Amino acid sequence: MISSREREGIERGGEVRRDKSILVLCIDRDDDIGSKAGIGTPVVGRDECINAGVRLAIEDPEDADSNAIFAAVKVYEELVSKGYKSEIALLSGSYRRGVEADERIVSQLHSVLKRFSADAVVMVSDGSDDESVLPVIQGIVPVISVQRVVIKHSRSVEYSYALLARYLRSLIYDPRYSKFFLGIPGALLLAGGLSIVLNLADYALPMLSIILGAIFLVRAFDVDRTLLSITKSTTPSNFVRVFSIVAGIIIVIASLETGYVNVQGMLEGHDALNIILNKDIITAFLINMLPLLWIGIGVILGGRLLSNIFRSSIKAISDALRLVVLGLFYIPVQQLILMIKGEANPFSLVSSLLLGFAVTLIAVTLVYEYYRKRASSTTKASKNTTSSNSNSSNASDVDEVNYKDD
């Protein structure tokens, strides 16, 4: 499993010396070893890892993680046979992947390093997903080699069909994939069917576009996971944050409705292309929706500010700056819309931008000075604490000497 270049380096004693302790790590980032075989990690030791691989292979013979475990055992035996002080460990993350999985792997790695002090790591995995945790591991202990296990599949038609069936089953029954490959088409088909049943076939395409666009936005900005993580906590700061997000979204939607109502009479006799190219319709829509749109965004940012204030977080200052910048941008955006409409001149736009820039610069300068003074006061306080502790320890030493002399 060790490449020829690494093997030459090991034998020459260059990159890896024989007096170094090498830890062979097998990474299972999605925790198949726990969810399928019911084995807790970390698993440390050759025999223990072999037993874990056998258990996983029995529970799911098609899982590639069991092959990765056996490959790690082979790398471990190669190192031991050449006289290196080595140990093997199996680490797992979480089926949710992401930060939760990486945090669990880091915690398990620290636990293993307490039992076996390693100077370097050889990492064994079965794919790029497991290797995504590599930078995290490198931040704790040097990684001298990464071994990827590629499973050899038969090229016959029968085995190709079997492999395809396996992937299709994963798309249907595995919740990590089914919610995207079945959930999105299901929502689109449901919306299209309802539009036909309710005699709204003309609105089917816009409805499908709205649903698909909303799903893409939610997934792109990780809105679902963010809301889930926020709602899991019952602290007042999180309740304020959730309420402000929901209220802000409602106000933004209301701003769209306000803009539409004010231009509804102007839409008669125009097709979609003419509406988009009509300067009067677009500017009227934007100028009427702008106040509520800015209020909605301000509610979201204000909720974040209050949440950080409740938590006594220093991020509250940055949130306050965001609110200031949002307010300062209102007039320039309004002037830009009016200039497009022909009711304002470029001078008013430029002057409002310069005024906003000046106020923003002053606010940023004040915040910078606040941070600098706070950092200097913290440094002085820590120095005073250190000196007082040293003085007290010296005084206690003198008292002890005097007591002995007496």
For the stretch 355-372, pLDDT in tens is 878 888 887 787 777 767
What is the C-alpha to C-alpha distance for residues 131 and 26, in angstroms, rounded to an integer? 10
Question: By the 8 A CB rule, do 67 and 73 touch?
Answer: no
> Would you state the structure tokens that stand for residue 240, as one six-digit string?
């304020």
What is the C-alpha to C-alpha distance for residues 275 and 339, in angstroms, rounded to an integer? 19
pTM to 2 decimal places: 0.44
The whole-number average pLDDT for the span 162-174 is: 76
Domain parsing of the chain, residue ranges: 4-148, 154-221, 230-379
- Give the pLDDT band (50/70/90) at residue 404: very low
Residue 104 has pLDDT above 50, yes or no: yes
Q: At what angle do helices 236-263 and 279-310 cross, to 10 degrees?
A: 170
| 25 secondary structure, DSSP code | E
What is the C-alpha to C-alpha distance for residues 215 and 220, in angstroms, rounded to an integer? 8
293: nearest Cα among 342, 250, 353, 338: 250
Omega before 185 within 30 of 0, i.e. cis: no
C-alpha distances in Å from residue 231, one per residue of 227, 235, 241, 251:
6, 9, 10, 21
More confident residue, 66 or 379: 66
pLDDT, tens digit, 9 for 90 and up, residues 221-244? 666 676 666 666 667 777 788 888
Q: Phi and psi for 29 in degrees, rounded to 5? A: -65, -35
Bridge partner residues of 12 (DSSP): none
Bridge partner residues of 85 (DSSP): 21
Residue 4 has pLDDT above 50, yes or no: no
Residue 66 has pLDDT above 60, yes or no: yes
Per-residue pLDDT, 231: 63
Per-residue pLDDT, 233: 62
What is the C-alpha to C-alpha distance for residues 122 and 72, in angstroms, rounded to an integer? 9
pLDDT, tens digit, 9 for 90 and up, residues 268-327? 766 667 777 778 888 888 888 889 999 999 998 898 888 888 888 777 888 888 888 888
pLDDT, tens digit, 9 for 90 and up, residues 330-358? 888 888 888 887 777 787 778 878 887 88
What is the C-alpha to C-alpha distance for residues 307 and 239, in angstroms, rounded to an integer? 8
